[in-house]
Structure 1
């Protein structure tokens, strides 16, 4: 066997081992994340927070950390590139894992959540690419292109999301029945509704455990979320 063949075989073995150990690391990481998830959720469960809302909270926090790290890199607060990109990769893995976890709790709404949080992940990645292609612009405001890019991106995605996913209703679960029902509402990104418990007159004879459809009234800019204005009826909906 010649030296070229030996180098070729050694290279193939190295690639194989790298892929093998990388996959092993990712599998172990995902298993570890699941264990941590359930331990952390026990705290949130005591606060009467559903697992779906807990996953969304994690996604929001991870997305925020991802964006903060990217901004720190853009403005040269983070100088160790290996550590920076290592952290970004870990956060991306965590975000991907959390998004996939939502599939069991969102039914037909999963694509809306997936697109929303993927857009959160995409903008920092675009910033990193722009940073490495054109760090600054010879202008009074050297980072103005990031601001312009952010505004254009947010406006475009907001229009796309409202056009494709926005709706004027949401769902809630009856937690207490009677003449006045208490309805627990979870986070609903399509209706722009935050978790809360509301009281309504029981005009539909709803019982405890029923899932009800709720009318939503959107504000002009919906910054604080939409307002739930009434109950439309009882509906069948799994994985609420």
Structure 2
């Protein structure tokens, strides 16, 4: 390899890196579905693109919490918390904006993760401040109560703004008077992804989208319990469960 080719290769690498950084800082929605090369190796069961994206957000948030807890344990400077938060929020924004078209319902996820991440950052930063001024353990008790109240207030507000008592599923199996439906991860209805058995209704066929009432189970999330509407368009369980216009 000549010196000229070597320098040209370096220039291309630098240019690619610069464009990658710019795209990371200022992302735009992609028309191509994302690749989950490494994540798919960790998850044994088959997931939809929406489920993979939801899992990425959950893992990123969990890692963010763990890193912040480690920084608190090490009594690191608040600047470390700020630095970690900047990187995390850039990644969060990149994931949400870049993959906007591949969420079944984008807005609730965007609001939830931005808000809960901002609350977490404020709680960790506030704890550092409390540790500097606290003269007794009661300061910590009071701070934990305030943090808990803020989280509960956010939970209430999120349910008021985005919460609903229904979700959508796809019929995958019919057995007499019951059917098995596949339901995507649905943060607005607080439903976990998976298969659920519910009572059958008229006009059901495998592949059809159905609207289901969900029942809230304390500390366990909500579960679909009853079909209230059948949509006449067949879909795969790997596609969006958002219904088309035609209903029965």
Check if 1:95 corresponds to 2:96.
Answer: no
Q: Which runs of 5+ in 1 are unaligned?
A: 1-20
What displacement does 1:80 show? 6.7
Name 2:210's counterpart in structure 1.
212
What displacement does 1:36 show? 8.5
Distance (whole Å) between structure 1 residues aligned to residue 91 and residue 24 of structure 2: 13
Task: Assess, with a 3 A threshold, how the Cα gap between structure 1 residues 173 and 45 changes in structure 2: closer, same or farther.
Answer: farther
Distance (whole Å) between structure 1 residues aligned to residue 175 and residue 146 of structure 2: 52
CA RMSD in angstroms comes to 3.4
Q: Which runs of 5+ in 2 are unaligned?
A: 1-16, 242-248
Task: Assess, with a 3 A threshold, how the Cα gap between structure 1 residues 151 and 142 changes in structure 2: closer, same or farther.
Answer: same
Q: TM-score, normalised by structure 2?
A: 0.71
8 Å contact kept, 1:78–1:84: no
- Selected match of 1:79 from 76, 81, 84: 76
Distance (whole Å) between structure 2 residues aligned to residue 214 and residue 28 of structure 1: 38
What displacement does 1:145 show? 4.8
Name 1:115's counterpart in structure 2.
111
What displacement does 1:71 show? 2.9
8 Å contact kept, 2:100–2:106: yes
Name 2:60's counterpart in structure 1.
62
8 Å contact kept, 2:81–2:125: no
What displacement does 1:68 show? 2.4
8 Å contact kept, 2:167–2:186: yes
Task: Assess, with a 3 A threshold, how the Cα gap between structure 1 residues 145 and 35 changes in structure 2: closer, same or farther.
Answer: farther
8 Å contact kept, 2:198–2:224: no
**Structure in which a larger fraction of residues adopt helix:** 1
Q: Deviations over 1:21-75 (max 9, x none)?
A: 87652426879xx9994313543786121111111111111112212222333x3
What displacement does 1:103 show? 2.7
Distance (whole Å) between structure 2 residues aligned to residue 132 and residue 228 of structure 1: 42
Name 2:240's counterpart in structure 1.
239
Q: TM-score, normalised by structure 1?
A: 0.73
Name 2:193's counterpart in structure 1.
195
Task: Give SS of 1:97's match.
Answer: helix
